[in-house]
Structure 1
Amino acid sequence: MQFTYELSECSQDKGPEIGGKALGLGMLWGLDFEVPPGFVITTAAYRATVGPDLIDEFNRIAAGAQTVEELQLASKQIAERFSADLISPELRAEILDRYARIADGNSSVAVRSSATAEDRADASFAGQQETYLWVRGGDDVLDHVARCWASLYTAQAISYRRRLDDEPGGLAMAVVVQQMVPAEAGGVMMTIDPATGNSSAVYVEAALGLAEGVVRGDVVSDSFWVDRSTNDVRSEIRVKDAAHVFDTKSGRPAVRPVTDEAGRQPAISDDEARELAAIGMRVEAAQGVAQDIEWAIAADGDGRRRLYLLQARPETVWSQPGNDPEGAVHLDSGPLDPEEKNLLHGSAGRDGLWTITNMQEAIPGVSTPFTSSVWLPAAEFANRNHYRFIGALSKEEAKIPADPKGWVVGLFYGRAALRLDFYASWADRVPGLSGEAIIGQFFSSLPDTLTSRTRQRNRLRAVPRLPLPFLVVPRRMRRNRTEVGKFWSAAVSELATADRARAVDILVEGVDRFQRSLALQVNLTQGAFQSLSRVIRWLCEETSVNPHELVAGYGGHEESALVDDLWACSRQELTLEQFVRRHGYHGWREGELSNHSWREDPTMIERQLDAYRQRPDDEDPRVMHSERADKRRELERRLLSELAPTHRVPGRIGLALAAHYLPMRGVSKVSFLQSLDVVRAAARRLGTLLEQDGRLNNAEDVFYLTLDELRDCPDKSKALVAERKKLRRRYEQVQLPDAWQGMPEPLDATAAAALSSFEGTPASPGVVEGRARVVLNPSDAHVEDGEILIARDTDPAWAPLIFLSSALVADIGGVMSHTAVVARELGIPCVVNTKAASLRVKTGDLIRVNGATGLVEVLDS
């Protein structure tokens, strides 16, 4: 039996033997592109080497692993069984003979997995198995072939196959051995815009050095868009400070700094970008589907730059059924119609003052229909309930209006917004409070047309109820936290095997608990917190103490505990399983229910652990918390000493109350996040059951149905899902202002990017200069020491990343928002409400952040 093939022999009929990567390389070879020479070791070689008994044993070990810790242990047990000694003398001779044909004694090769499930059209397994670069010598090649086989059973690969319901029965691994290219530049090309699904341009991302830099995302890269029809090139050239290169001393690839001059030059020329785009379109035409292609440019013997293709796979996001890139709608295809009415736009009152600030922290981005159907009624109830609770609204006024035009929350182009004029009018009824004050404090947006109108009669009704947020809410909140914590642990476990009726019951209970938990959060933050914040600001007005510094260091914040536990995990004081059991309800943009929580996918935590392990022990956040507490106590002493004698007693009372109540902020937030995670889990279980029944194409499509529809799935669910996906993609390309009157006008992103300095709301004092790291998704983000984090919005899942940063700048948020609170607690400068920092600043820009004035300056673009 033949166990190896040259890449030129890899054709469609050999697909099951050679795996996705080898098949892609054979296709490129057949189209006469420049492909580095190589060969593939077939799946038959894997099966002959490992044998059915070992394969059955591996599958049994993997099947018994359920938790993160068990998956890691199973992976380790399986990997220990793989070694080059397993390879028979006959197979060893065949591999070494092929290797000798493509490499002399000084040549290096890449040894790459080519799994049978890899690089298929409906799911990309890229990154789930291993790749080894700059392997040299026959014995080293054999050793790395065995390592590639073992990577079929990494914890991530087992978990990923399980999420896709892939049966392990036919699992096998082919391995590609291919000559290395000493790249001067490398990267990835996609024949469709990966962010928007726009197929009118080919997207190219290029880094200096090896393409590994783009694949890993740990060095700065340039972006190019090549228009298919005109061949015009649009580019974003960034300052590059490092590259993946072959290190001659270690004999391995490494990240090394580049010179300032080289770092300022484009990684590739416009003509090279056009050449890549032409190749991409040709490959796409041959394969009939959008392509994801890895490439490299290296100098030939005459010093000329030559383009090599390293692999090709089908694009797996926008090419999914219902995600047809030709159906993606773009702003340049025509103006938005503000009068249109659908699930994500058009139902809210159009005569009000609206803001997305703060709301976008909770309900980020363009909501899926399921998310908005859960969130909006709960948010409407929570806000009305609070002002009824403190006596500002009557029982009748607190009822949710039947017509959404009368709601205080609404959707505009898929973004959740809050109606400022309604909110301000309610706040005006509270003694000692004004609409202007509360809007300015919580939302950092105060339109010129908003004025306060005190209503004395309502204020008198509210007086006896003002102490309730202090006296009643904490007790209710703690009891609810305990109950919801037990509910979360039990429900997510039960849902793994629940039938439809039980899943619906858990879903309904989860929504109910979420609404109650959110209401308690609003009672606390806009009752006790708002009052205490006003007292602290009033006390600080006559002293030199900064109120933002004073409120940091009280301890007890959930996000601080999260960072502490991640640090403990990095020092092996806590297992990853224990960390996930405590904090697994968090996740990127966790308010959007279609996103995965850490309980479902701990990838972000695993990546952040690597960064935490590299930090020196003296950066222990637990020590830093103690130091900030000492600083806060010193500020309190200074405040009291500078106060007028008549103000010292209320000063002591105010500080004592702040120390007691401010750390409670995260308690009720945990409850509503855990409730939301149950809702997420119940929806996913129902999606799986609906897919099995043939009523949905994919289980994830469940998030394009509303809560009511999910209880009784409509007959035309598939058509509804496809239409709503297109609508959501369309709205995702709209940038909205932070506040507006009536109907918002989309922002001009180009104009925003042209500014070299801008201001936001100062949220945590301090001045820092450093390179910017723009992060839109923390799940795969990497922050270097000293970098300044730039984000559209943040939620509790960002806390581990914020800890690694020297400063934080956010597009949205107020001084009492989550972003500001975490930054203050972690002791880093912070500016919020910049409106478009993530558009104005690029990764690699040298910027200065002043957290006391709110000024952000781009010093070197």
Structure 2
Amino acid sequence: MGQYVLFFNELNKASVGVAGGKAANLGELYQLPGVQVPPGFCITTAAYHDFAEDSSLLPELLRLLEQVDAASPDILREAGESIRSHLESLAIPAAIEGEIFAAWEKTGSDYAYAVRSSATLEDLPGASFAGQHDTFLNIQGRENILTHVRKCWASLFTDRAILYRRQNGFQHDKVRLSVIVQRMVLPAAAGIMFTADPVTGNRKVVSIDASFGLGESLVAGIVSADLYKVKNNSIIVKQIAQKKLAVYGQENGGTTRIEVPVAEQNKPSLTDESVLKLAAIGKNLEKHFGSPQDIEWCLADNEIYILQSRPITTLYPLPQTDDRKLRFYISLGHAQMMTDPIKPLGISVLRTLAPFGKKGRLAESPFLQEAGGRLYIDITNLLANPLGRRLVPKLLLNVDAAIGRAVMEFTASDQFKSQAATKSWSKTPYMIVGLLTVWGNVIRNIMYRNNPSVVRKLNGFITGKVKENQAGLAEVSGADRIRKIQTILSSLLPAIFRNIAQYLGAALLTYKLIDGFSRKWLGDARELGSISKSPPGNVTSEMGLQLGDIADMVRKYPAVAAYLKTAADDTFFTGLGAVPGGIQVQLAFMEFLARYGMRATGEIDITRDRWREKPTQMVPAILSHIESRPPGQHRLEFSRGKREAAAAAERLAARLRNTKWGFLKAKIMSRFVKVHRALIGVREHPKYFLVQNLDIIKQGILKEGEKLCAVSLLRSPAEVYWLSLSELAGVLETGKIDRGLIYKRQEQFKRYEKLTPPRTMTSEGEIYTGNDRNKTVPQGAFTGSPVSAGVVEGRARVILTLTNAKMNKGDILVTPFTDPGWTPLFPLAAGLVTEVGGLMTHGAVVAREYGIPAVAGVDGASRLIKDGQYIRVDGSQGFVEILQ
């Protein structure tokens, strides 16, 4: 027809611009063989545009809407009502009205119709907008059609649609709405089908909600639905609900609610045959559209009609796999305290860093897979071995307790047992020999070796290796430099394994031994909380102390403190040197950054800004120190921690001497404590070694990025972050780049930022949470893992990024995670609550060093706990209570 109306057979998935997402999908469905879709037509976005253009008032109303604060719901509601009332009062231009009537008569003027919205930003892979606009059912007659078309256009400004656009960053005046006019089917049953389980995420399970009458009863929430789940063409779940009400169409138009006769209320709304047929249709539509679908359907006269199919946007993306084997993945981000998405270069670097399963030094590990901008470790082969099934969950409990429990939950599931096969490790003798060698050295370190020089030895190793790699990178350029980087990355973890693992293993094992033998011989481990305080040689603790020294220096110069509050990264040092006392502080900063400038939050992501690159990241911690602590307090507290650790060790030995065989027990325990104190300081050395090498690698990559900018292939050196290492080498060799790929990845990254990554998942998409359902906690408390003993009460200070960190002495730090970049805040904290982590992760270890109670793995802690609330942290039992 004309520009204002298109029939379904004139539409397809490429018609989003003129018909909106919903109508485009309907057009695609209408033309698929074997899919029944009630006929109809679409009133295009051009019709809405010309209709709205007739209003001289609408542009001003939209301008006022843009200025309304989303935090003022009443004002927002009034603004939306004003626009809707205005649009519903406008006359539809004669040309548009004429095309609508012609299409209506051609489709059948004697029928009732559903009048539904279809926005240009609706039913898309990145934003579904489901339910944001209005639908009107069983509309009959010429004038009623026009009235409800206007109402659909006006529903572009419902409160929920306005808020949704705000949250997703869409401008109100850029969205266009088309209207679907579709012949009504008056069904015996209707509902919603998800071709992937929306609860567990399993892509192999089709989930169907069904009830009597129109699907409106489910959408409105007035009736419980029957639930059917289908997997591999078998019904695996059938839950029949009591359906007291149903919505049916009336003869004269509109809908009505009807009470279902008592004898019918508990009858299935679908036969098994219909369920399986519906599931098969759903999987065919999923295959056609290329992603899991959220499908509206109805059943009339034993015929299944599809009313809509849209992408499911709430499912977390899956790692890519080349086989059909059931695989199990754990989140690297939760283990490394960095759950934000990583840009492609950062992902490529980490996959190259991982040494397992690679075909060569330049390759990326297949056991580290990207999903939703995060990295997941494939531990399927480990779990296929009986020894791996026993050891892996126990080790993971110390990294992130919820991940450890999730692995146990998965290996106990029927799903795993039905597909698991015992896998031999006979093909990896090198790994076994390496593990046995390290284990032998761990035992020797605990039993008899003297360890005082270990920290000095490791510092020398790190310095030498970094200089060697730096020199190697300086000798090459272009694609050769990228290949050299790939070679260096492949060598780093083996170097850590050979040089540091035996000492770190001994430190961690002795902590467990002190805990276990204390409980066995004395019935408690009350000294354990002090044993780890202020250990020697911890590079991260030393960093925090030096930053405290800078804070003490800044407090001597009020002009410097005032400058830091407004300092900018680009002019940080030049501006600092221009204020009284700034030169002295500048020298201290330079010395600090020379040693620690490569550090950052989420620092194993090479694309993150380092402190050297954005020094203002350190300012909040410095100012908090000045405002909350007297001069020198950080050094005094560290010294006091050492004394408390020594006193705790002596108390422990004295208590043991008073037991049977006490002299021998005290001697054994003293050895454990001595080894632990001597070696626990190296806990941060692996990452310290890693980030120094990543820093020189980043500098080398950015130099190549500068060269690409000079020949106009890149707009800024940081655009290299959107390429993998091999892609970057290819650009350097060919002089060609795909700018469309960069743009696509930038847009994809924005979507990934809104996702919440699961701790674990299978290759089918099923998520195992590892929730500890057996833990007994006070009513209303939030549970996690006890990682640093003690109980403390105080004001919660919820901090999401260090950039906005503001803490006072005695606050309880509540945050998604911590890593070495957060260390400067620990001297101020009275307690710690994190969303991820376990007994041996950064925040837990540092909390024990400072002797503050800590609970890790509290899901949603930074959202559930409000800044300023008075809370109690029980680091002995693992829960957090809100007291006020």
TM-score of the aligned structures, taking structure 1 as reference length: 0.54
Residues 766/709 of structure 1: CA separation in 2 closer, same or farther (3 Å cut): same
Determine the structure 2 residue equivalent to 1:786.
810
1:743–1:793: structure 2 CA closer, same or farther, 3 Å change rule? farther
Matched, 1:229 2:157: yes
In the alignment, what sits opposite 1:555? 536
Give the aligned partner of residue 692 of structure 2.
674
TM-aligned CA distance change 1:707 to 1:525, over 3 Å: farther
**Which residue number corresponds to residue 515 of structure 2?**
537
Shift of 1:526: 6.6
Give the aligned residue type for 2:665.
H
With 539-548 and 502-511 compared, the bigger mean Cα shift is at 502-511
**What is the RMSD computed on CA atoms of the aligned residues?**
5.1
Residue 466, structure 1, aligned to residue 464, structure 2: no
Q: CA offsets per residue over residues 664-699 of structure 1, 9 Å max, x none?
A: 112232111111112222222222322332223333
Q: 1:725 to 1:279 in 2, by over 3 A?
A: closer
Specify the alignment match of 2:633 in structure 1. Answer: 620
Preserved contact between residue 442 and residue 815 of structure 1 (Cα < 8 Å): yes
Cα 1:406–1:569 shift into 2, 3 Å = closer
**Structure 1 residue 706: Cα displacement:** 0.5
Report SS of the residue matched to 1:571: helix
TM-superposed deviation, 1:851: 1.3
Go from structure 1 to structure 2 and tell me whether the alpha carbon gap of 1:601 and 1:502 turns closer, same or farther (over 3 Å shift).
farther
Q: State the one-letter code of the partner of 2:533.
A: A
> Following the alignment from structure 2 to structure 1, what is the Cα–Cα distance between the partners of residues 717 and 438?
47
Kept after mapping to 2: 8 A contact 1:815/1:821 = yes
Q: Secondary structure at the match of 1:466?
A: helix
Counterpart Cα distance in 1 of 2:835 and 2:439 = 33
Higher mean displacement: 625-634 or 843-852: 843-852
Structure 1 position 850 matched with structure 2 position 823 = no
Find the counterpart in structure 2 of residue 482 from structure 1: 463
Question: What corresponds to 1:355 in structure 2?
Answer: 330
8 Å contact 2:617–2:803 — kept in the other structure?
yes
Letter in 2 for 1:685: K
Secondary structure of the residue that 2:409 maps to in structure 1?
Answer: coil
SS at match of 1:665: helix
Q: Do residues 370 (structure 1) and 345 (structure 2) align?
A: yes
- Within the candidate set 376, 394, 398, 1:441 is matched to 398
Amino acid at match of 2:331: I
* Partner Cα separation in structure 2 for residue 656 and residue 527 of structure 1: 15
* Counterparts of residues 12-91 of structure 1 (less than 5 Å): none
Verify: 1:580 aligned to 2:553, yes or no. Answer: no
Counterpart contact for 1:480–1:671, Cα < 8 Å: no
Q: Aligned to 2:792, what secondary structure does the other structure show?
A: strand
Question: What SS class does the counterpart of residue 776 from structure 1 fall into?
Answer: coil
Mark the CA change 1:348 to 1:839 in structure 2 (over 3 Å): closer, same or farther: farther
Q: Name which of structure 1's ranges 529-538 and 653-662 shifts more when overlaid on structure 2.
A: 529-538
1:199 Cα deviation after fit = 13
CA offset digits 1:13-41 (Å, max 9, x no partner): xxxxxxxxxxxxxxx9xx99999xxxxxx
Question: SS in structure 2 opposite 1:771?
Answer: strand
Identity of aligned residues (%): 21
Q: CA deviation at 1:566?
A: 0.6
Name which of 366, 376, 386 aligns with 1:417: 376
Cα shift readout 1:44-72 (whole Å, capped 9, x = no counterpart): xxxxxxxxxxxxxxxxxxxxxxxxxxxxx
8 A contact 1:484–1:674 mirrored in 2: no
Pair 516,601 (structure 1): closer, same or farther in 2 beyond 3 Å = farther
Aligned 8 A contact 1:521 1:665 in 2: no
**TM superposition shift of 1:594:** 1.4
Change (3 A) 1:489 1:773: farther
CA distance in 1, matches of 2:698, 2:671: 42
Distance 1:649 1:836 in 2: 44
Give the superposition deviation at 1:826: 2.5
Q: 1:518 to 1:361 in 2, by over 3 A?
A: same
Listed one character per residue, the Cα deviations across residues 534-590 of structure 1 (whole Å, up to 9, x for unaligned) are: 322222223332434423332321221111001111122871111111110111221
Q: 2:163 & 2:514 partners in 1: Cα distance?
A: 48
Report what 1:722 is aligned to: 743
Secondary structure, aligned partner of 1:448? helix
**Using a 3 Å threshold, how does the CA distance of structure 1 residues 400 and 351 change in structure 2: closer, same or farther?**
farther
Cα shift readout 1:519-540 (whole Å, capped 9, x = no counterpart): 4587247733443233222222
Distance apart, 1:726 and its partner CA? 2.5
Written as runs of structure 1 = structure 2, the 5 A alignment for 1:485-504 is 485-486=466-467, 500=478, 504=482
Please say if residues 737 and 835 of structure 1, whose CA atoms lie closer than 8 Å, have aligned partners that are also in contact. no
Secondary structure at the aligned position of 2:883 is classed as: strand
How far has the Cα of 1:517 moved from its partner?
4.9
TM-superposed deviation, 1:791: 1.7
What is the letter of the counterpart of residue 851 of structure 1? G
**Alignment check: 8 A CA contact 1:697 1:718 kept:** no
CA distance in 2 between partners of 1:277 and 1:719 (Å): 22
Structure (1 or 2) with the larger CA radius of gyration:
2
Alignment of 1:72-471 (within 5 A): 229-232=157-160, 334-336=311-313, 345-346=320-321, 351-356=326-331, 359-361=334-336, 364-379=339-354, 381=355, 408-420=367-379, 422-423=381-382, 428=387, 434-444=391-401, 445-446=404-405, 447-450=408-411, 466-469=439-442, 470=445
Match for residue 650 of structure 1 among 664, 668, 679: 668
**SS where residue 722 of structure 1 aligns?**
helix
Structure 1, 775-784 or 466-475: larger mean CA deviation:
466-475
CA contact (8 A) 1:354 1:417 kept: yes
Secondary structure of residue in 2 paired with 1:657: helix
In structure 1, the gaps of 5 or more residues are: 1-27, 36-191, 202-226, 237-272, 286-329, 385-397, 749-754
Counterparts of 2:610 and 2:392, CA distance in 1: 36
2:549 maps to what in 1?
568
User: For the Cα contact (< 8 Å) 1:773–1:844, is it kept in 2?
Assistant: yes
Q: Could you tell me whether the CA contact under 8 Å between 1:588 and 1:779 is conserved in 2?
A: no
Report the CA distance shift for 1:513/1:374 in structure 2 as closer, same or farther (over 3 A): same
Task: Name 2:580's counterpart in structure 1.
Answer: none
Contact 1:370 1:706 survives alignment (8 Å): yes
Residues 804-852 of structure 1: CA deviation (Å, up to 9, x unaligned): 3322211111100111112222232211112321232232333221111
1:456 and 1:32 map into 2 onto residues whose CA distance is 67
- TM-score when normalising by structure 2: 0.52
Could you tell me which of 607, 632, 638 is aligned with 2:651? 638
Unaligned stretches of 5+ residues in structure 2: 1-59, 68-120, 131-154, 176-292, 295-308, 413-419, 554-584, 770-778
1-side partners of 2:369 and 2:737: how far apart?
A: 26
Instruction: Specify the code of the residue in structure 2 equivalent to 1:669.
Output: K
Cα pair 1:360 1:415 within 8 Å, conserved = no
- In structure 1, how many angstroms separate the alpha carbons of the residues matched to 2:126 and 2:614? 24
Counterpart in the other structure of 2:264: none
Q: For 2:796, what is the secondary structure of its paired residue?
A: strand
Structure 1 counterpart of 2:597, one-letter code: G
Per-residue deviation, 1:777: 1.8
Q: Any idea what SS the aligned residue of 2:540 has?
A: helix
Mapped to 2, the partners of 1:801 and 1:728 lie a distance apart of: 30
Deviation at 1:747, TM superposition (A): 10
Aligned CA distance change for structure 1 residues 488 and 706 (closer, same or farther; 3 Å): same
Is the alpha carbon distance of 1:707 and 1:722 closer, same or farther for their aligned partners in structure 2, counting shifts above 3 Å?
same
Match of 2:851 in 1: 827
Structure 1 residues 529 and 277: CA distance shift in structure 2, 3 A: closer
Aligned with 1:697 (options 689, 697, 715): 715
Asked if 2 retains the 8 angstrom alpha-carbon contact of 1:345 and 1:413, the reply is no
